[in-house]
Amino acid sequence: MTEAAIAPVAGAPIDARAVVPQRLVIVLPTSGEFDSRTYRIASACVARGHDVTVLARADGMASSEDRHPSGYRIVRAPVDPVDALPLSGLWRRVRDRRRARRRGSPSTGGRPTSAEGTVSSPAGRGLLGRVRGAGRGAWRVAAIALTVRAQIAATRPVDPGADLYHGMAYMGIPVALALRGGRPAAVVYDARDIYLEARNLARLPGPARWLVGWVERRWATEASRVVTVNRAYAEVMAERFRVPMPLIVMNCSYRQARSAAPERRFHERLGLDANRRVVLYHGGLFPERGIEQLIAAMPEIPGADLVLMGYGVLGAALPALIAASPAADCIHLLPAVPPDELHDWVAAADVVAMPIQPSTLNHRLTTPNKLFEAMASGVPVVASDLPGMATIVTETGCGVLCDPTDPASIAAAIRSIVEAPAADREAMAERARRAADDTYNWEAQLDVLLAEYGRLTGRPW
């Protein structure tokens, strides 16, 4: 990446000659293969002459150590919560025997499973239900603690040391703090979500949520700086963590080069007729992202195909859900692609859909990566009419809002784009590109982040 590619859009460009090379370690609670924010930070810092290492978790798929084409090193350590227990060998044998018995047990009869893979059922009422809920909450909190301890133990031997540790997410920041130890290094807590209000943590029993919130507040106050992705999140975190207003570094994309005729990647990959429109959902295949509602909307969108491209806990259940749809032949499941290839795929779509459900405060306030990726790629969006996204979509004119809980509303919003005259579609695409070029781009966000890095270490980045 050239220096021109990372020059900030606002203010005087940073003089690369004034940069003092420093060591950055980014700590991830995932394998990091598809983490766009990590990719953008790491690649930008390497381009400026810094030594960057990403410490991630092994997932059995990606290599244990490699060097990204942009120049930063990725080290993936095996993380097993059992390793954090006394007599870990004994517990591992017990766990392996239980897993073997479950593999040989009869089917659960089609009952739905939770994100953790256990059979879910109604919460239950009365004392028994409360006891079960408390037990699940205690188990979840214990699993978090054991996983964090295991990652700390696994990454300490491979930590190269750093001038600044950047801890991603609520299970990355305690590892970053532990790696710093008593050394004079800065630690950034990148709180990319309001975790206590997101997915599984939002449904923990009250005492378990209080404990997780208390621990996260301790991590936030121990960090040198809290960073988040939008102002709404920052305001919530400042109050809950009792810290100064977090630094806002939005999840925008780099400005993208314009192509007169974007590649028809989905048409070629899936063998689609040239006249078919492509509706793309990309990113995490998780509950409450609106994937089920998108599938339900497709019978009402003739002339379009839906592509679900990503990874996550819904991946195993989606083939059956797709097969049950009257529009099954028009719904396709593709694997995630690396961040440095993503925009070429996004640009090949006609609409990017993100009907995130209003199920938690975190979802209602979110500004997801895919919104900015679509804008940078010049693709109109269909987004939830929720506070986090609605303002940006309305102000920029980059898409159409919908009621994310109503498949009919989603379908109508998508049709309003794919069935519009070509000139209207291109005007919306151009508004998206202009907003990304002028305001919502990573070059501008990088300026903010590097200035804070410099304040924390006392040397320019």
252, 434 Cβ separation under 8 angstroms: no
For residue 173, pLDDT over 90 is answered with yes
pTM of the model: 0.84
- Dihedral of CA 21/23/24/30: which sign? positive
Q: Are residues 194 and 271 in the same domain?
A: no
Give the rounded distance of the alpha carbon of 420 from its chain centre. 31
What is the extent of the structural domain holding 448?
4-81+141-252+442-457
Q: What is the mean pLDDT of residues 428-444?
A: 96
Assign 352 to helix, strand or coil: strand
pLDDT tens sequence across 59-93: 876 668 889 999 999 999 999 877 666 655 555 55
Provide the edge-to-edge strand list for the sheet that holds 381-384.
Answer: 331-335, 304-311, 277-284, 351-354, 381-384, 399-402
Q: What is the mean pLDDT of residues 433-442?
A: 96
Q: Are residues 403 and 337 in the same domain?
A: yes
Q: Are residues 288 and 369 in the same domain?
A: yes
Q: Are residues 149 and 222 in the same domain?
A: yes
Kindly provide the b/e burial profile for residues 410-422, where b requires at least 16 CB atoms within 10 angstroms of the residue's own CB: bbbbbbbbbeeee
Kindly provide the b/e burial profile for residues 124-162, where b requires at least 16 CB atoms within 10 angstroms of the residue's own CB: eeeeeeeeebeebbeebbeebbbbbbbbbbbbeeebeeb
- Dihedral of CA 98/104/106/112: which sign? positive
Helix, strand and coil content of the chain, in percent to the nearest 5, comes to 45, 15, 35
β-pairing, 225-228 vs 247-248, is parallel
Structure tokens, 18: 């004034």
| Greatest extent of the chain over all pairs of C-alpha atoms, in Å | 68
Structure tokens, 111: 């009952």
69 found inside a domain: yes
CATH number of the domain enclosing 204: 3.40.50.2000
pLDDT for the residue numbered 92 = 57
Q: Report CA-CA distances (Å) from 343 to 30, 34, 238, 311, 417.
A: 22, 13, 33, 17, 20
For residue 95, pLDDT over 60 is answered with no
- Give the H/E segment covering residue 228: strand 225-228
For residue 400, pLDDT over 80 is answered with yes
- Least Cα distance to 367 among 356, 379, 351 occurs for 356
- Dihedral of CA 153/159/164/166: which sign? negative
289 found inside a domain: yes
Q: Are residues 211 and 306 in the same domain?
A: no
135 found inside a domain: no
Q: Are residues 71 and 217 in the same domain?
A: yes
Structure tokens, 108: 């659960």
For residue 49, pLDDT over 90 is answered with yes
Residues forming beta bridges with residue 434, ordered by sequence position = none
94 found inside a domain: no
362, 195 Cβ separation under 8 angstroms: yes
Structure tokens, 88: 């870990």
Q: Are residues 303 and 394 in the same domain?
A: yes
Q: Are residues 73 and 8 in the same domain?
A: yes
453 found inside a domain: yes
**Ranges assigned E (strand) in 242-300:** 247-248, 277-284
Q: Are residues 175 and 285 in the same domain?
A: no
pLDDT tens sequence across 28-48: 999 988 899 999 999 999 999
Q: What is the mean pLDDT of residues 195-205?
A: 87
For residue 345, pLDDT over 90 is answered with yes
Q: How many domains does the chain have?
A: 2
For residue 3, pLDDT over 90 is answered with no
Q: What is the mean pLDDT of residues 229-241?
A: 97
156: pLDDT confidence band, cut at 50, 70 and 90? very high
Q: Where are the alpha helices (DSSP H) in 260-353?
A: 265-270, 291-297, 318-323, 339-346
Q: Are residues 407 and 451 in the same domain?
A: no
CA geometry: angle at 225 spanning 222 and 226, to 5°?
95
Q: How does DSSP assign 308-319, residue by residue?
A: EEEESTTTTTHH
Q: Are residues 210 and 341 in the same domain?
A: no
Q: Are residues 295 and 228 in the same domain?
A: no
Which distant-in-sequence residues (6+ apart) come within 8 Å of 337 by Cβ?
A: 34, 309, 345
pLDDT for the residue numbered 9 = 34
119 found inside a domain: no
Structure tokens, 4: 């021109």
pLDDT tens sequence across 304-331: 999 999 999 999 999 999 999 999 999 9
Q: What is the mean pLDDT of residues 165-183?
A: 96
Cα Rg, the chain, nearest whole Å: 23
Number of residues assigned to the chain: 461
Q: Which residue has the higher pLDDT, 283 or 83?
A: 283
Amino acid 185 reads A
113 found inside a domain: no
Structure tokens, 266: 């989905």
In the block, residue with structure tokens 């449904």: 203
111 found inside a domain: no
**Ranges assigned E (strand) in 11-170:** 23-27, 51-57, 65-67, 73-77, 164-168
For residue 141, pLDDT over 50 is answered with yes
- DSSP for residue 385: S
